[in-house]
Structure 1
């Protein structure tokens, strides 16, 4: 009896461990599968949309965009110049006076010929979830192309579509362009972020840090 109980306990622990290890991968695969038809990696294949939503990805101490952020904004610039979108919503973190992702994004885009009137800034896009929530509720966006790196694109598209935006995504290069150790970190973090995204959009639906009145696209 003691041996049987010990063996049952070992089996139970093994099963629980396997579930704990596999569940994040299963959920991540579900997000990728659910958005498979809405993700593109070639600008020429992107269907025309009224607006591109560009997600923040960090700035350096001098206020310039990180390489990942610059790639995202450049892709939005290309979408605009190719007539795929007529507006760009730049959403990111401006939580302190000394950290402003969206200002860096705006400077980069304007420096490459995008007129200021085509750009709208969301200073309170503190996460993918909050950016999608605010894009729908504050800026009234119902159709958009999302611009971000390929590793992040499935979660971004899934989140925005679940929040009521008919979104497609344009993925910018990541593996092969950025350091492998960085990409391993981002990819691992993305698996965990996928669990959080599913919890937020399907169960808790928290209000964003800041909501405020409806603004529409400027």
Structure 2
């Protein structure tokens, strides 16, 4: 085999190896770095004024199962007195798709007064949701609520952007089919690579900032 083709094959093998190794390293790093700031028991969450719930899809006027369980986790914190306000952050990029209004209505149906719910209509990604917490809503400290597979990235991103964040992970493995969680975890590894680049290298501005709103 010509030397050129041997070198090409080596390059391909090295490239494939790195494409697998880098996401795994990023995922492991985010888990280790955020371990002190993640809890799985609601009563272990520090008393904090605001809980942040990340959007995860809606079907019509109903949240997906994953999103419903995030909202239920935040509502539980509210009723336990661990938080005073809920901030729903998600996608309202066009008139026919409004995650955060669905999220708010679901939380209200579980007993949270609408006066204690704030909506972030421009939380198009975990990074954008975390970025907007301080300049738009004045949030310096927050409890983040999401599935456990997503929590290291969310906590790492928010803390890197200056928010004193602690994550309360709602159950995922054991509640969803293993192939589904394996797919989510693989996607999370790739998303974590991008998150590290976003917070440490590129620091892109979110799609929308807008005026300060605060949380009353």
TM-score between the two structures when normalised by the length of structure 2: 0.94
> Is 1:42 the equivalent of 2:37?
no
What is the aligned counterpart of 2:210 among 204, 209, 212?
A: 212
Per the alignment, residue 53 of structure 1 pairs with 52
What is the aligned counterpart of 1:181 among 179, 185, 188?
A: 179
- Does the residue aligned with 2:186 lie in a helix, a strand or coil? helix
Per the alignment, residue 201 of structure 2 pairs with 203
Which runs of 5 or more structure 1 residues have no equivalent in the other structure?
none
Q: CA deviation at 1:181?
A: 2.2
- Contact 2:22–2:193 (CA<8 Å) still a contact in 1? no
Q: Map 1:83-162 onto structure 2 (within 5 A).
A: 83-162=81-160
Judged with a 3 Å threshold, the aligned counterparts in structure 2 of structure 1 residues 125 and 6 are, in CA distance, closer, same or farther, namely closer
Structure 1 segments (4+ residues) deviating >4 Å:
2-13
Which runs of 5 or more structure 2 residues have no equivalent in the other structure?
none
- Does the residue aligned with 1:145 lie in a helix, a strand or coil? strand
Q: CA deviation at 1:15?
A: 3.5
- 1:116-166: per-residue Cα shift (whole Å, max 9, x none)? 111110011000000001112100101000000000000000000001100
- Does the residue aligned with 2:59 lie in a helix, a strand or coil? coil
TM-score between the two structures when normalised by the length of structure 1: 0.93
- 1:61-90: per-residue Cα shift (whole Å, max 9, x none)? 3x1001111101111111011110111110
- Does the residue aligned with 2:88 lie in a helix, a strand or coil? strand
Judged with a 3 Å threshold, the aligned counterparts in structure 2 of structure 1 residues 19 and 216 are, in CA distance, closer, same or farther, namely same
Q: CA deviation at 1:180?
A: 2.0
- Greater displacement, 16-25 / 136-145: 16-25
- Does the residue aligned with 1:181 lie in a helix, a strand or coil? helix
- Does the residue aligned with 1:35 lie in a helix, a strand or coil? helix
Per the alignment, residue 23 of structure 2 pairs with 24
Whole-Å separation in 1 of the counterparts to 2:8 and 2:74? 54
Whole-Å separation in 2 of the counterparts to 1:19 and 1:6? 20
- Contact 2:147–2:171 (CA<8 Å) still a contact in 1? yes
Q: CA deviation at 1:7?
A: 5.7
Whole-Å separation in 1 of the counterparts to 2:190 and 2:101? 29
